Structure 1
Amino acid sequence: MNYTFPKLETLALSSCNLTKIPLFLNSLKKLRNLDLSRNKIGGQLPKWFWDVGKGRLESLDISSNLIEGRIQQFPWKELTNVDLSDNLFQGPLPVPPLSIFSFWAAENGFSGEIPSSFCKVSSLAVLELACNNLSGSIPQCLGNLTNLYYLDLSANKFEGTFPWSLDNCASLAFLNISYNKINDTFPKCLLEAPLPWIIDLQFNEFHGQIDPPIAPFLSCKLDIFSISNNNLGGQWPEEYFLHCLNLWSVDLSNNRFEGPLPIPSPGTVLYSIANNKFSGKVSPLICNATELVILNLSNNSLMGTLPECLLSFSKNLSVLNLRMNMILGVIPRKFAKDSKLGTIDFSQNRFQGTLPRSLLYYENLEVLNLGHNRIEDTFPNWLETLPKLQVLILRSNIFHGFVNSPRATWPFSELRIFDLSNNNLSGPLPIRHIMKLTAMMNRDKKQGKLQYMGRNGYQDSVMVTMKGLEIQLVKILTIFTSIDLSRNDFAGELPMGIGNLKSLKGLNFSHNNLAGYIPPSTRNLIELEWLDLSSNKFSGRIPQELLDLISLEFLNLSKNQLIGPIPLGRQFNTFNSDSFVGNPRLCRFPLPETCANSSREIPPVTILQENDKEHGGWFEWRAILMGYGCGIVAGVSLGYIILGSRKFEWLMELLERKGAHMRKKWRRNARTSYQR
């Protein structure tokens, strides 16, 4: 079919699923504007393409395709707008025509330096070169382009200094040179220029102190201001943001700023000053920023008590992060109705008192992290009804008493991280909570890109004990699951149904008073990467079934009463002796003890302890059974029986025959006693 449109000046074939450039374009002699964007055009541009429009083309858009190769220069002398972005171009940047107004070439593979020829284009207003492999210094002469108001050089490899002085910042409205290696002091002209509405200098090497502008607050039009992840310090001009009424995003995080907490403007939506040295109290003035969605004040030196309004001033607030400060007093009780709050992180502070029941009103809450404080309370069972709660961290506080049985049918149904470690909790292991953590029961079989917890551009972060080490998870994968009840005073046995938690990554019950056998059902924990049952009273053999846990990278069974040979093979061959020490009757690799005399196993209802010092080779026997009813321990003690060594074999045989029957009877009696 022949296409003849001799007078056609504008042709738009965007989003037409084209796989190659149509040949008929060569016949369009008067074409001025050509748009082939958002197609699937691949390969290199054909030679005849450079003759389209017979040298009269003014606007060219071939963005969002799969075009590759190099471009040396453009043949169109009247070209004013060109968009090459989101392709596979390589090599040096092409020489721009002197007539160019906007040049877009982001997300390609262009390399080398920015040609000085760009400085000769006095009409250049837009230069977009983000996400390439460009390097060297930003040409100082770019600062002489008085019409340049949009410049994006982000995500390249630029070094050197910033090329603008006060006089030629006047027309710059959009500046993004983030994710480079610019090593300079902060360009003061940016705070005093009349036009900037976006300034993004994050992830560079800017240093020194930011001096207050000479004539501040007169014409602030900023919308976005991000200078995070540099080496800037000194005291930030405290009142600067209050006069930027249009400012909706401020990010000063990961610098060395100090002094009082800067207050965001009333219209600010995103505000982060994390990882600085700001000090003093959190002023109630911050509650005037009623449009805030993300408020991140973490890792500073803030102190004093919180203003009562902080949990109630904004219905739109989604993230409230005060982690790693020195804030004390009680958590505010006031709440906002219909709140969107999804993350509360008050960890690593000095909060005291009890948890406010007003937390129940935050039905969108996904992350509640109160670890490493001085909160003194019983376990907050009432949180179990929060429908979206995925992370509950109460570690290293003064929570005490029993973890009573849940009232809800499916308590904590979405919980993925459950951490009560290092408290004063006691009583039976909270089996009824553990066995109803449905989010840990089903493996996520969905394939695709990994996802992290967070919202509105913010990513949640928590401290967990993982594989024996305290680790800060900067990002939390949505498939990450762990239970940590270590360093409490829980008693009882591991439930046989523990294997139902098939998506569990980590399990830590160390430093408690747990007893009994390690159930063979642990073989079903197929995603488990670390298991720590150390410093308890577990008895019997290490189940051979643990060999099936091929994802297991860390195991600690030390300081228990386990006996017999350590399983051999698979990941067990990688564990060292530290995983098993403190079990006097364990044997085989990696321990030095052999297994010549370890053929007989202690029955499941007993705990046998050698007591050579007091009874000269005799054994002291105690059978303790834990009954569970509404979270209260019911125990039956058979006391102490001192036996001669020649009666030991008789006792073993008797208990092997009667063990199961006795256990059922004792548990039935325990329940009956409790009901009375």
Structure 2
Amino acid sequence: MGFSPLSLSQFLSSILFLFHFYTTISSSNYSSSSHFCAPDQSLSLLQFKESFSITSSASGRCQHPKTESWKEGTDCCSWDGVTCELETGQVTALDLACSMLYGTLHSNSTLFSLHHFQKLDLSDNDFQSSHISSRFGQFSNLTHLNLNFSGFAGQVPSEISQLSKLVSLDLSGNYYPSLEPISFDKLVRNLTQLRELDLSRVNMSMVAPNSLMNLSSSLSSLLLYSCLALWGCGLKGKFPGNIFLLPNLQVLDLTYNDDLTGSFPSSNVSNSLRLLGLAHTRISVYLENDFFINLKLLEVLALRECIIIRSNLTLIGYLTQLTRLDLAGNHFNGQIPSSLKNLVQLQILYLDNCNFSGRIPDFLGNLTLLENLGLSSNQLVGTIPSQISTRSLTLFNLGNNDLHGPIPSSIFKQENLEALVLASNSKLTGEISSSICKLKFLRLLDLSNNSLSGFIPQCLGNFSNSLSILNLGMNNLQGTIFSTFSKGNNLGYLNLNGNELEGKIPSSIINCTMLEILDLGNNKIEDTFPYFLEMLPELHVLVLKSNKLQGFVNGPIANNSFSKLRIFDISSNNLSGPLPTGYFNSLEAMMVSDQNSFYMMARNYSWYAYSIKVTWKGFDIEFARIQSALRILDFSNNNFIGEISKVIGKLKALQQLNLSHNSLTGHIQSSLEMLTYLESLDLSSNLLTGRIPVQLADLTFLGVLNLSHNHLEGAIPIGKQFNTFNASSFEGNLGLCGFPMPKECNSDEAPPSQPSNFHDGDDSKFFEEGFGWKAVAIGYGCGFVFGVTMGYVVFRTRKPAWFLKVVEDLWNLKARRTKKNARSRRNGARRN
């Protein structure tokens, strides 16, 4: 049926009227809504705002102080982050993500008087270890709750399970809040509409994995991962296989649940999976036909250090949608599969420590979107292909391979490169091109343990304030240290150990206010002691050993000098004057041990561990990772004179003290008994006199002792640790007698048989009654096994003969005891 001209005109007029009416009403509604906020809602929000301060450090991922737009007398529905219901003016959504809020979120907060929330986002703020209040459970209309990275701690309240309308719940990235089994059971049973669940870094160690079977069948995202092993969810036991089969599952990440077992099914798996993270779990995976065929939509596959039963990487080219592939830490053998060339969407590729051999394939250069490339710790040979470099690269790690030849100049044309690691390649030669200073975003540069020669580009000292890690150690570099360090730089780690560097230590290094590790050892630096290094407020490790430093070391020139130093090594120089005992009063970090030891890692790259090379228990050792608990003071092989001050007893956390090969005089201080963590003590080749303090026998961790070549006299203490030392610890002291020396003591020279830490008579009696010889013997045995085990696990050494020496010493000790007993029997037979 058609329209007549009149009816059409009337129709259009009617449409225009209705449109005008609608826009008027809409405008009126918008106007009224923009000026209609329930007074109680506005007041509650303002009171909530006043309970927090705005601090830039409270938000790390982004910064948007939304509450600054909240002003009294204005409509709260127009405030930043606030959404209202148009008709009533009730606040239905609050988005305060990245708002830099700093303070405690109490249970009586006015936030909980706003009962109409449907969405609440408090992510990326700092609520100072506040507990997640049980009052969150009263938001009965809530569909989205996001509390991630907001500094919450304590138990997750069971009242969260009352939020039956929740579609998305994110409690990740906080200070290890815990979930009790009962609370978790309620949560998975009651939240039947849940589609997104993120409990990463929530402690679920008490939760049985089979509880996960009750999760909603509509679940599309389950995140129980962490970025570090210490922050995992702690799930233990068998992961329920039915989770892998959920029809809507797109995202599953269980990374760093090291005790989680199970098996990823080879068939019937949800083919909608986009992300699969099983890294650092014990879940078995079969990388074979069905896996690659069923999961063609995968965009992220993270299987680092998991359990791959069988694999056929020639089929990996089926996963053409992959943007991130992490197979590091699995041993595949053979060459890098050529089928990787089909993965043209790849942005991240980690194949580190996979036992791959052969040359680096040229086709990697065709992956033009590649940003992160890790091929370290394989058996790759040949030169670094220039084609591999793409302008999108930000991380390039080829460390610990068998590559040789020069570094291609194309690498230094990567405009966005942030991390370049070519360390430990037995054969990389040539010079470091000054064009490296064109990399304006470079944060990490590690070219250590190679055969690089020539001069260090002077521009490295000031070319980029973003550079935080610079390791050029163990090469053949010559010339001087770059003379200018720019102000405001971000350098945290500088290692130039083991080169041929000359000249002086530049005073501009005091501009490196973030510097934590400085290792300039084993060079040819000619200078006086660099007092200006005391001004570095964050310095934890200082190694200046084996250079040509000379002159007096007078002690600290400022308050709190070296107060954070954990390792202080100025050995094997030509330093002179009285022993600088003034530093013993300022080395505060050596006075207190770390209760929670950790490895010292790069600030921006949690996978990169700081390393140093020092003398440990008599051997040159490279600490591939530095434990924060490590405390070393090494002033050996210099020309220091004078006595050892008793204030050295303040350094209670010391693990190694080496003052050997100087000209020290006086007695060995009995205050050394205060160094209860001491594992190695070397005072050899000095001019020390007097007796060995019997208190040293109470140092139960002491595994290495060298007092040789002094002028000590009297009886050697017996019992406890002193029974484990052989004659080499005391040789060259003609006045010493008693075991293990061949000279026997007279009766008036005999030491106390069982020295004690306790000076009061009653305490001594308690010690004798409370601790029998069997317990002490067990302690020695455990200590020895622990020491040897930790030495094997933590340290890398180029002289593994240390273990053989320990065995040899023990064998010699046993032999000497046998000879002594035989001699006693012969003497007794003669007397008879």
1:225 match: secondary structure:
strand
Q: Report the counterpart of residue 661 of structure 1 in structure 2.
A: none
**1:509-658 equivalent positions in 2, closer than 5 A:** 509-596=659-746, 599=749
Provide the residue aligned with 1:117 in structure 2: 267
CA distance in 2, matches of 1:134, 1:106: 10
Superposed counterparts of 1:227-242, under 5 Å? 227-238=375-386, 240-241=388-389
The equivalent residue for 1:269 is 418
AA aligned to 1:480 is: L
> Is 2:401 the partner of 1:255?
yes
The residue that corresponds to 2:195 in the other structure is 59
Write the mapping of 1:145-294 to structure 2, written as runs, cut at 5 A: 145-165=295-315, 167-190=317-340, 193-213=343-363, 216=365, 220-238=368-386, 240-241=388-389, 243-245=390-392, 247-262=393-408, 263-264=411-412, 265-276=414-425, 277-294=427-444
Kindly provide the CA deviation profile for residues 242-296 of structure 1, in whole angstroms up to 9, marking residues without a partner as x. x333x32222222222232252522222222212232211111211111112211
Q: Judging changes above 3 Å, is the alpha-carbon distance between structure 1 residues 47 and 479 closer, same or farther for their aligned structure 2 residues?
A: closer
What is the match of residue 297 of structure 1?
A: 447
In the alignment, what sits opposite 1:470? Answer: 620
| SS, match of residue 546 in structure 1 | helix
Note the C-alpha offset of 1:440.
Answer: 4.7
Report the secondary structure of 1:260's partner residue.
coil
Residue 42 of structure 1 contacts residue 68 of structure 1 at CA under 8 Å; is this kept in 2? yes
Q: Distance in 1 between matches of 2:487 and 2:637?
A: 37
**What displacement does 1:204 show?**
2.3
CA contact (8 A) 2:191 2:216 kept: no
CA deviation after TM superposition for structure 1 residue 240, in Å: 3.0
Aligned to 1:134: 283
**Contact 1:321/1:344 (8 A) holds in 2:** yes
Once the two structures are superposed, residues 24-53 of structure 1 have per-residue CA deviations (whole angstroms, 9 ceiling, x without a partner) of: 96xxxxx89575876725269979978996
If the length of structure 1 is used for normalisation, what is the TM-score?
A: 0.76
Structure 1: how far apart are the matches of 2:744 and 2:215? 84
Residue equivalent to 1:102: 250
- Residue 90 of structure 1 aligns with an amino acid whose one-letter code is K
Larger strand percent: 1
Task: Please state if 1:488 is matched with 2:619.
Answer: no
Within the candidate set 579, 586, 600, 1:437 is matched to 586
Question: Aligned equivalents of 1:513 and 1:179: distance in 2?
Answer: 51
Shift of 1:587: 0.5
Give the Cα–Cα distance (whole angstroms) in 1 for the partners of residues 266 and 345 of structure 2: 26
Contact 2:418 2:444 in 1 (8 A): yes
Contact 1:376 1:397 in 2 (8 A): yes
Report if aligned partners of 1:71, 1:93 keep a CA contact under 8 Å in 2: no
* Residues 274, 297 of structure 2: 8 Å contact kept: yes
SS at match of 1:537: coil
SS of corresponding position for 2:437: helix
- Give, in whole Å, the separation in 1 of the partners of 2:180 and 2:436: 52
Deviations, residues 172-191 of structure 1 (Å, cap 9, x unaligned)? 11112223333342134445
8 A Cα contact 2:317 2:342, kept in partner: no
Against the structure 1 CA distance between its residues 359 and 69, is the aligned structure 2 distance closer, same or farther, given a 3 Å change threshold? closer
Which amino acid is the alignment partner of residue 479 of structure 1? Answer: A
Say which is worse superposed, 38-47 or 435-444, in terms of deviation.
38-47
**SS state at 2:527 partner:** coil
Change (3 A) 1:543 1:244: same
Asked if 1:40 is matched to 2:179, the reply is yes
Aligned-pair CA distance for 1:427: 3.3
**How big is each residue's C-alpha offset from its partner over 1:122-159, in whole Å with a ceiling of 9 and x where there is no partner?**
44333232332123542233333432222122231215
C-alpha separation in 1, matches of 2:183 and 2:512: 55
Worse-superposed segment, 190-199 or 71-80? 71-80
User: Which residue of structure 1 lines up, in the alignment, with residue 107 of structure 2?
Assistant: none
- For residue 440 of structure 2, give the secondary structure of its aligned residue in structure 1: coil
Q: Cα–Cα, structure 1 residues 481 and 126, in superposed 2: closer, same or farther, change >3 Å?
A: closer
**CA-to-aligned-CA distance 1:358-389 (integer Å, 9 cap, x gap):** 22322322221111112222322332333332
Q: Distance in 2 between matches of 1:130 and 1:250?
A: 21
1:554: how far off? 1.7
Residue 578 of structure 1: SS of its match in structure 2? helix
Q: What is the total number of aligned residue pairs between the two structures?
A: 579
**CA shift digits 1:197-251 (9 cap, x unpaired):** 111222322222122128x46x62223222222222222223533x333x32222
Which protein, 1 or 2, shows the higher relative CO under an 8 Å CA cutoff with sep ≥ 6?
1
Whether the 8 Å CA contact 1:166–1:188 is kept in 2: the answer is no
- 5+ unaligned residues in a row in structure 2: which ranges? 1-139, 148-154, 173-177, 226-232, 752-832
Pair 201,586 (structure 1): closer, same or farther in 2 beyond 3 Å:
same
Letter of the aligned partner of 2:372 in structure 1? I
Gaps of 5+ in 1: 1-7, 26-30, 602-676
Amino acid across the alignment from 1:244: R
Distance 1:512 1:442, change over 3 A: closer
Structure 1 residue 22, shift from structure 2 partner: 5.1
> The residue matched to 2:404 in structure 1 has which SS?
strand
Counterpart of 1:428 in structure 2 is: 578
Distance 2:163 2:453 in 1: 71
